[in-house]
Amino acid sequence: MMTFEELNLATPILSALAACAHTTPTAIQTQAIPVVMQGRDLLATSQTGTGKTAAFVLPSLHRLTNFEKSPNPKILILTPTRELATQISMAVNEYGKHLRVKVVNILGGMPYPTQLRQLAKPSDIIIATPGRLIDHIERGKINLSEIKIFILDEADRMLDMGFYEDVEYIAAQLPKEKQILLFTATIDARLMKLSKKLLHNPEQIEVVGKRVTLDNIKQQVYMANSVQHKTKLLRDILSDKEATKVIVFTATKRTAETLTEELLESGYGAGALHGDMHQRKRNKTMSRLHSGKISLLIATDIASRGIDVDNVTHVINYDLPRTSEDYVHRIGRTGRIGRAGTAISFVKTNDMALLKKIEKFTQQKIEKKGFSEEDASTSSPTKKKVNKDFSKKWSSQKKKHGVRFEKSDTKEPRFSKNKKHGAARRGADHKKQSWGKRF
């Protein structure tokens, strides 16, 4: 088994690794670090939780020790979210603590004056999100003329968020002679197109497949028929002594806030995390989670990637994500690097079709609890039930308005013409329009 010493990293970096008790590189680190140290472009496919951040941070820091000193940054790391940028910044400071590396974070949600003061000082590494970085580029407040290494982390997520043109624009502002490292969890046609535009004769590494990060995760699905039912199920799970650090994913920011308030009132150490929160508050929440002051995070999909929290025992999908890929990234917060984890999803009857897609995507059957045979086989209302519902609806309309239902039109049930009723309706509509104009 290979050690970090055998990768020939600089001595100050090895000392930092030893202080963190990191002795053995993961698969992505073993393959990527030598390529980056050689100065080659790299396209690396690796799921979250495999140690990919260190796979580009460690060799980039090693190369930084050989660059000529100057006030301008030499390394630019681009990420899709503030949370991911913060995690990378922590890794850089941890592994580069004996190198006296100067890092500047250029993230949305941070005050411009603070960032401008940081940019006015000498720096070695810029870690940025696309939007705020472009703001500073267009204002002429940042000097990228000496960038030697350009790193795109979670590149697939960046494209999903609509940053394709932004990435192209940023790359165009950098020197022609540079090393580009592109790390991604998945590869599709758009990402391959971007890699061909940016990378020059890259080394390609694919360390893991889609299923590898799920092997250590026990997946379960609970049937829930209401929000109240979901909350009750969640409380039951939280009462389990093994649920020591839990991330709960919700579909909306509002649900995240409401659920957090309810749990706090019940005495749980919980914190919310979503896109509407100020960066300082988001950082505080993550700091409290890392330190153990809270053990329960209620988050939107902003946390499904880019948040590196050790020892997450459970991931709960309070609301099922809308795509299979997001499901994988959510539950990938647990069961990391060989550890066991549990992922539980709450579903309603109308989620069954999506659940089947997730099972097909992951190639795994998920254990179901609280399901009847009808629930398990139902993905949408049957035609018979729909017709029955229509009949009830139009029958009630007939009684209410005194009109005759025309059975001749089976596709779109309609009312027969009734002059008196029609005139009354037109009068009501006219009054609605008049009141609408007045107010």
The answer to whether residues 281 and 143 belong to one domain is: no
Token pair in block for residue 42: 């790299």
Flag whether pLDDT at 88 surpasses 90.
Answer: yes
Instruction: Please state which of the ranges 105-114, 366-375, 380-389 shows the lowest mean pLDDT.
Output: 380-389
Which of 160, 180, 206 is where one domain is finished?
A: 206
| Amino acid at the residue 222 | Y
Token pair in block for residue 134: 């472009």
Radius of gyration of the chain (CA): 27
The answer to whether residues 254 and 180 belong to one domain is: no
The answer to whether residues 166 and 115 belong to one domain is: yes
Flag whether pLDDT at 145 surpasses 80.
Answer: yes
The answer to whether residues 72 and 150 belong to one domain is: yes
Q: CATH number for the domain including 152?
A: 3.40.50.300
As a whole number of angstroms, the longest Cα–Cα distance in the chain is 92
398 found inside a domain: no
- Based on the structure, what is the number of domains in the chain? 2
Token pair in block for residue 125: 């590494």
The answer to whether residues 168 and 24 belong to one domain is: yes
pTM of the model: 0.62
147 found inside a domain: yes
Non-local (6+) Cβ contacts of 38 within 8 A are none
Strands 414-415 and 405-406: antiparallel
pLDDT of residue 291: 87
Contacts by 330-334, CB closer than 8 A, 24 or more apart: 330/249, 330/301, 330/304, 331/214, 331/217, 331/219, 332/47, 332/48, 332/49, 332/213, 332/214, 332/304, 333/49, 333/247, 333/303, 333/304, 333/307, 333/309, 334/217, 334/247
Sign of CA dihedral 327, 331, 333, 337: negative
Report the Cα–Cα distance between both ends of the chain, in Å, rounded. 76
Q: Which residue, 97, 91, 98, 95, is CA-closest to 77?
A: 91
Q: Which residue, 12, 6, 11, is CA-closest to 33?
A: 6
340 found inside a domain: yes
pLDDT of residue 384: 42
Query: For 1, how many CA atoms within 13 A lie in the half-sphere containing its CB?
Result: 5
CA dihedral 238, 243, 246, 251 (to 10 degrees): -50
Which of 376, 395, 418 is where one domain is finished?
A: 376
> Are 36 and 59 spatial neighbours (Cβ–Cβ below 8 Å)?
yes
133 found inside a domain: yes
> Are 273 and 285 spatial neighbours (Cβ–Cβ below 8 Å)?
yes
- Unique residue bearing structure tokens 């097909």: 360
pLDDT of residue 164: 93
pLDDT band at 439 (very low <50, low <70, confident <90, very high): very low
pLDDT, average across residues 343-352 = 92
Flag whether pLDDT at 391 surpasses 50.
Answer: no
Flag whether pLDDT at 55 surpasses 80.
Answer: yes
Distance CA 179, CA 76 (A): 10
The answer to whether residues 295 and 199 belong to one domain is: no
Q: Specify the 3-state DSSP secondary structure of 374.
A: helix
pLDDT, average across residues 304-325 = 82
pLDDT, average across residues 135-163 = 93
pLDDT of residue 303: 58
Instruction: Please state which of the ranges 69-78, 313-322, 398-407, 410-419 shows the lowest mean pLDDT.
Output: 410-419
The answer to whether residues 168 and 235 belong to one domain is: no
The answer to whether residues 45 and 182 belong to one domain is: yes
Q: Specify the 3-state DSSP secondary structure of 301.
A: helix
The answer to whether residues 145 and 271 belong to one domain is: no
pLDDT of residue 362: 84
| pLDDT tens digits along 241-299 | 999 999 999 998 899 999 999 999 999 999 998 877 777 788 888 889 888 899 999 99
The answer to whether residues 246 and 131 belong to one domain is: no
Distance CA 265, CA 299 (A): 18
Which of 376, 396, 411 is where one domain is finished?
A: 376
421 found inside a domain: no
Flag whether pLDDT at 313 surpasses 70.
Answer: yes
**Higher pLDDT, residue 276 or 426:** 276
Flag whether pLDDT at 319 surpasses 80.
Answer: yes
Q: Which residue, 355, 370, 49, 371, is CA-closest to 237?
A: 370
pLDDT of residue 86: 87
The answer to whether residues 147 and 246 belong to one domain is: no
Instruction: Please state which of the ranges 48-52, 84-88, 291-295, 350-354 shows the lowest mean pLDDT.
Output: 48-52
Strands 42-45 and 179-184: parallel
The answer to whether residues 228 and 260 belong to one domain is: yes
What are the distances in angstroms from CA 317 to CA 168, 212, 325, 382? 35, 20, 14, 27
Average pLDDT over the chain reads 82
| pLDDT tens digits along 65-78 | 999 989 999 999 99
Sign of CA dihedral 223, 225, 229, 230: positive
- Find the angle CA(292)-CA(338)-CA(214) to the nearest 5 degrees: 100
For residue 262, give its domain range. 212-376
Distance CA 170, CA 241 (A): 48
221 found inside a domain: yes
37 found inside a domain: yes
